[in-house]
Structure 1
Amino acid sequence: MRLLILSDSHRQIREMSMIIEKLQKDCDAILHAGDFVDDILVFQELYKNKKFYYVKGNCDFGNEAKKELIIEMGGVRIFMTHGHEYSVKYNTDRIIYAAMEKQADVCIFGHTHCPTCFYENGILIMNPGSISMPRGYKYPTYGIINIEDKTPRGSIVAIEGSIIKPAENIQRY
């Protein structure tokens, strides 16, 4: 099973459009960790045969998106939230504790626009960074999670112009 992880598109969907168009055939689901959920809803209408999951970010107003989701995919329990209510700009302690309380195997968040991917207490922690307005990394980024034998493996991918390649200096597992 393969998941495409996006976040913080902020109504700038050029890169997101390129990524979804290229990868949607190879992905079982597309997840958006907030801040302009309306952006992903456009693609949900275009690709009705795909599963889309999304959460509300601190810049999402006037939509019905939830603040948090728990999703079961490929035998893996995924906790997804934007992260602003867990103070992720300061550290990841609170969101990791929340993921542990929810018995998650994967924790996906956004908000900081800074990509990260690591394991903590047996949980894959991923912030895909921002697909439109990167911070802490030169290029827009997104995440990929592959699930095999109920084991999630994550990677961060950068978009350099029209070139898509693994992001350097990002922890990957």
Structure 2
Amino acid sequence: MKIVVVSDSHGRNDILKTIQEKHPNAKLFIHCGDLEDDPMYYPGYIIVRGNNDYFGRFENERIIPIGKHQIYVTHSHRFSYFLRSEQLVNRAKELNCDIVCFGHTHVSFLDRVDGVTLVNPGSLSHSRDGKPCSYAILDINEDDIQVEFKFEPEW
């Protein structure tokens, strides 16, 4: 199953439609927070609250079942800067999740820790690591989780 994961669009939400058009075969679109708009205008996305989201109704975290996998979605601003990965893994395990999608840092990131896959798609609007803006594509099947980052130098 193809899943597109984005984060930190910070009002550049025209990009969200562009991404949907680029990936018409994706089964799911996830936004990990800092939309800075009302999520009701983006019905194709599952969206969680970021630290800059004040418009409309958001949930702070979501759990999405995908076959035998479960995805924990959070913005991650409520987790410690220095212990973020460890705390995200612990929270995922509390919720019986084996995949974590998170944002906030504006840096694309992939790691696998103690059976949990951690994915930060980076930022759609303000990359903080010198790379172009980015998002992630997860390809999930029963036995495997593949992650690919898409870098967009210009929107």
Q: Which amino acid aligns with 1:146?
A: D
In the aligned structure 2, how far is the partner of 1:100 from the partner of 1:34? 21
TM-score w.r.t. structure 2 length?
A: 0.89
TM-score w.r.t. structure 1 length?
A: 0.81
Q: Does the aligned pair in 2 maintain the 1:89–1:111 contact within 8 Å?
A: no
CA deviation after TM superposition for structure 1 residue 99, in Å: 1.2
Asked whether 1:102 is paired with 2:99, we answer no
- Cα 1:53–1:117 shift into 2, 3 Å: same
Asked whether 1:84 is paired with 2:83, we answer no
Deviations 1:126-162, CA, capped at 9 Å, x for gaps: 0000011111132010011111124322121101236
- Cα 1:79–1:102 shift into 2, 3 Å: same
Note the residue ranges of structure 2 that are not aligned, 5 or more in a row: none
Note the residue ranges of structure 1 that are not aligned, 5 or more in a row: 45-49, 163-173
Out of 115, 135, 146, the residue aligned to residue 122 of structure 1 is 115
Identity of aligned residues (%): 29
Out of 52, 61, 64, the residue aligned to residue 68 of structure 1 is 61
- Cα 1:137–1:101 shift into 2, 3 Å: farther
Task: Count residues with an aligned counterpart.
Answer: 155
Q: Does the aligned pair in 2 maintain the 1:107–1:124 contact within 8 Å?
A: yes
CA deviation after TM superposition for structure 1 residue 90, in Å: 5.9
